[in-house]
Amino acid sequence: MKKYESLTKAELTSLLNELEANYDEMKRKGLNLDMSRGKPSPEQLNLSNELLKIDIFTAKDGTDCRNYGGLTGITEARQLFADILDVPAENVMVAGNSSLNMMYDMLSRSVTHGVMGSIPWCKLEKVKFLCPVPGYDRHFKMSEFFGFEMINIPIKDTGPDMELVEKYVSDDAEIKGIWCVPKYSNPQGISFCDETVKRFARLKPAAPDFRIFWDNAYAVHHFDENNHDVLLNLFVECEKAGNPDLLYVFGSFSKISFAGAGISAIGASKANLDFIQKSLANQTIGFDKLNMLRHVEFFKDLSGIKSHMKKHAAIIAPKFDVVLSCLTKQLGGLEIAKWQNPKGGYFVSFETLPGCAKQVISLCKGAGVTMTEAGAAFPYGIDPDDSNIRIAPSFLTEAELGSAMELFVLCVKLASVRKKCEEIF
Residues interacting with its own copies, by CB under 8 A?
A: 37, 39-40, 42, 45, 48-49, 52-57, 64-69, 96-98, 100-101, 104, 108, 111-113, 120, 122-123, 138, 141-142, 145-146, 254, 258-261, 279, 281-291
Classify residue 172 as exposed, middle or buried by CB count within 10 Å of its CB (0-12, 13-18, 19+).
middle
> Which of 215, 386 has the CB closer to its own copies?
215
CB of 219 to its own copies, least distance (A): 19
> Which of 127, 305 has the CB closer to its own copies?
127
Distance CA 95, CA 107 (A): 16
CB of 54 to its own copies, least distance (A): 8
> Which of 97, 191 has the CB closer to its own copies?
97
CB of 37 to its own copies, least distance (A): 7
Distance CA 362, CA 165 (A): 34
> Which of 12, 54 has the CB closer to its own copies?
54
CB of 93 to its own copies, least distance (A): 15
First-to-last C-alpha distance (Å) of the chain: 23
> Which of 227, 282 has the CB closer to its own copies?
282
Q: 3-state DSSP call for residue 92?
A: strand
Q: 3-state DSSP call for residue 198?
A: helix
Burial code (b: 16+ CB inside 10 Å, e: under 16) for 50-89 equals ebeeeeeeebeeebebeeeebbbbbbbbbbbbbbbbbbeb
Classify residue 124 as exposed, middle or buried by CB count within 10 Å of its CB (0-12, 13-18, 19+).
middle
> Which of 288, 335 has the CB closer to its own copies?
288
Sort residue 72 into left (φ over 0), alpha (ψ -120 to 50) or beta.
Answer: alpha
CB of 112 to its own copies, least distance (A): 5
Provide CB contacts within 8 A for 383, sequence distance 6+. 134, 357, 374, 375, 377
CB of 299 to its own copies, least distance (A): 16
Neighbours of 422 (CB within 10 A): 9
Classify residue 345 as exposed, middle or buried by CB count within 10 Å of its CB (0-12, 13-18, 19+).
buried
> Which of 122, 317 has the CB closer to its own copies?
122
Distance CA 264, CA 254 (A): 8
CB of 28 to its own copies, least distance (A): 28
> Which of 21, 56 has the CB closer to its own copies?
56
DSSP string computed for 317-347: HHHHHHHHHHHHHHHTTSSSEEE---SBSS-
CB of 129 to its own copies, least distance (A): 14
CB of 70 to its own copies, least distance (A): 8
> Which of 91, 291 has the CB closer to its own copies?
291
Neighbours of 282 (CB within 10 A): 8
Axis crossing angle, helix 9-28 with helix 398-424, rounded to the nearest 10 = 150
Contact 176, 129 (CB under 8 A): yes
